[in-house]
């Protein structure tokens, strides 16, 4: 039996997928995954560096390994991902508990690095700016039998002033069109119900032969048996009306779009190098709401960005009121080393950032609660994902438009589509009961939800 490894993942969906590839790669090399960190002979932290608190969390976790390494001298600690790419050898100097640093472009070298570290009793770093091999060629060990990430591109060319992604993930690189379709078909054949197309900016996908994201999304949606298709993430400057119309037309493309606003102020958007205006963003959201009435919109907001004045902040508040997002991920601005913003004076105090954060967060919670309340009494199809984290007596899943629903049920329903009647709602989730509709010859007391006829009277 091979050595046991433990993976802890921080950050975005791309990181989660990279962790699945690390697990697949090590499993092929006869390592065995464990969920207990104390049993592991190799501990891997797959990291995110988008926010400052991600760095702090990592070093907090690393410091806790001191006693474990004292008890287990052969233990190897690996830091992978974006912080590894950003810090490289500096990470080895800063943290004596780390044995191996490996960047996102060199994940395929990890088994070799582990062996070399053991044989030479050395601490190693490999974090090159260009991939050692195509990341998509690595094996993958999915966490779910019925959900899968499908990367269609890596990297980013946008260079938003606050964002470190282009520096740690590199420039945009799109996968071949047919390769993506082949993998999507393989996932469906393997029983996957929900596929999420992944990229830092999926809307800028292009295959070099005139086919962009619209064509790829259309082709994937035509695969027989592909029941749910999601994508993340969209950049507002690149989301096209054609993609919006395609979502409206295809029942298996989910009614959820994550559209990062970041700021409601044109002055701040320009400073951020976002390449769109609040007027363009409002046009997009109006188009989505008009053509996909059931669509749920989520977004990202940064408060306290560098020179954000009170007027700029209230522009953001105004956009939340106008767009009425279903969900917003709100962050206080923190400069990331190496970005354009890190070279400028940060004039907003921590206390002021916190005040603005609380105001925006409270407003968004109220909007989310109001929007979720509108689902009470409706019956909606839920893909059951697992046991509820808050109540072990319940199961939890997501609707087509990404609403979390908790309801009483058996673990046998995990991975299945279930009709659920919504009986209550909070700001972050819905509560329901499994629903078996009566036979009917009439459409009375029913609603249409992404092409599905659902009874609401029972």
Give CA–CA dist 207/211, Å, rounded.
6
Give CA–CA dist 404/401, Å, rounded.
9
Q: How far is CA 396 from CA 145, 368, 385, in A?
A: 16, 19, 6
**CB atoms near residue 47 (< 10 Å):** 27
Asked whether 58 and 79 are in contact (CB, 8 A), the reply is yes
Give CA–CA dist 92/72, Å, rounded.
19
**Secondary structure element (H or E) that encloses residue 77, with its range:** strand 76-81
| DSSP type of residue 334 | -
Phi, psi (deg, nearest 5) at residue 84: -60, -45
pLDDT at 60: 87
| DSSP type of residue 336 | P
Give CA–CA dist 391/430, Å, rounded.
13
Give CA–CA dist 168/156, Å, rounded.
10
pLDDT at 136: 60
pLDDT at 131: 60
In this structure, the strands spanning 4-9 and 32-33 are parallel
Peptide bond into 233 cis (omega under 30): yes
**CB atoms near residue 27 (< 10 Å):** 16
Give CA–CA dist 148/154, Å, rounded.
17
Give CA–CA dist 27/50, Å, rounded.
29
> pLDDT 10s per residue in the chain (458 long)?
689 999 999 888 888 999 999 999 999 999 999 999 999 999 999 998 877 777 788 888 888 888 898 889 899 999 999 999 999 999 999 999 899 999 998 999 999 999 999 999 999 999 987 765 555 667 889 999 999 999 999 899 999 999 999 988 889 999 999 999 999 999 999 999 999 999 999 999 999 899 999 999 999 999 999 999 999 999 999 999 999 999 999 999 999 999 999 999 999 999 999 999 999 999 999 999 999 999 999 999 999 999 999 999 999 999 999 999 999 999 999 998 889 999 999 989 999 999 999 999 999 999 999 999 999 999 999 999 999 988 989 999 999 999 999 999 999 999 999 999 999 999 999 999 998 655 544 443 444 344 443 433 33
What is the DSSP code string of 12-55?
SHHHHHHHHHHHHHHHHTT-EE-S-GGG-SEEEEEE--SSHHHH
What is the Cα 315 distance to its own chain's centre? 27
Query: Cβ-count burial of 191 within 10 angstroms (0-12 exposed, 13-18 middle, 19+ buried)?
Result: exposed
- Cβ-Cβ contacts under 8 Å for 328 (sequence gap 6 or more): 298, 299, 300, 301, 320, 360, 364, 368
Residue with tokens 């673990």: 411
């Amino acid at each position: 039996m091979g050595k046991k490894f433990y993976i802890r993942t921080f950050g975005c969906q791309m990181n989660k997928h990279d962790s699945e590839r690390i697990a697949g790669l090590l499993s092929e090399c006869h390592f065995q995954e464990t969920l207990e960190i104390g049993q592991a002979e190799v501990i891997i932290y797959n990291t995110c560096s988008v926010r400052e608190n991600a760095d702090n969390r990592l070093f907090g976790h690393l410091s806790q390994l001191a006693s474990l390494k004292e008890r287990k001298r052969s233990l190897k600690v690996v830091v992978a991902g974006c912080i590894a790419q950003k810090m490289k050898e500096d990470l080895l100097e800063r943290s004596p508990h780390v044995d191996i640093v490996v960047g996102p472009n060199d994940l395929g070298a990890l088994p070799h690095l582990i062996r070399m570290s053991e044989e030479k009793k050395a601490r190693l770093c490999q974090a090159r700016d260009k991939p050692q091999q195509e990341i998509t060629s690595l094996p993958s060990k999915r966490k779910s039998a019925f959900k899968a990430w499908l990367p269609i591109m890596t990297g980013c060319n946008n260079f938003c002033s606050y964002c470190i992604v282009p520096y740690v993930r590199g420039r945009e690189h799109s996968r071949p069109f047919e390769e993506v379709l082949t993998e999507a078909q393989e996932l469906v054949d393997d029983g996957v119900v929900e596929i999420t197309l992944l990229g830092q900016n999926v809307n800028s996908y292009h295959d070099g032969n005139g086919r962009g994201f619209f064509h790829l999304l259309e082709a994937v949606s035509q695969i027989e048996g592909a029941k749910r298709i999601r994508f993340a993430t969209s950049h507002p400057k690149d989301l096209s009306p054609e993609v919006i119309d395609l979502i409206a037309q295809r029942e298996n493309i989910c009614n959820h779009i994550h559209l990062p606003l970041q700021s409601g102020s044109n002055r701040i958007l320009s400073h951020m190098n976002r390449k769109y205006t609040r007027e363009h963003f409002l046009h997009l959201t109006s188009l989505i709401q008009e053509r996909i009435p059931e669509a749920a919109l989520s977004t990202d907001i940064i408060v306290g960005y560098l020179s954000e004045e009170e007027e700029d902040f209230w522009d953001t508040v105004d956009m939340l009121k106008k767009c009425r997002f279903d969900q917003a991920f709100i962050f206080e601005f923190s400069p990331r080393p190496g970005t354009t913003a890190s070279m400028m004076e940060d004039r907003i105090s921590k206390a002021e950032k916190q005040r603005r954060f609380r105001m925006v967060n409270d407003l968004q919670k109220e909007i989310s609660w109001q929007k979720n309340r509108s689902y009470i009494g409706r019956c909606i199809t839920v893909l059951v994902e697992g046991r509820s984290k808050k109540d072990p007596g319940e199961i939890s899943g997501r609707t087509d438009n990404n609403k979390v629903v908790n309801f009483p049920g058996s673990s046998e329903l995990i991975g299945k589509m279930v009709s659920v009647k919504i009986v209550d709602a909070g700001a972050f989730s819905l509560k329901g009961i499994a629903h078996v509709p009566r036979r009917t010859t009439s459409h009375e007391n029913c609603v249409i939800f992404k092409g599905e006829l659902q009874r609401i009277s029972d």
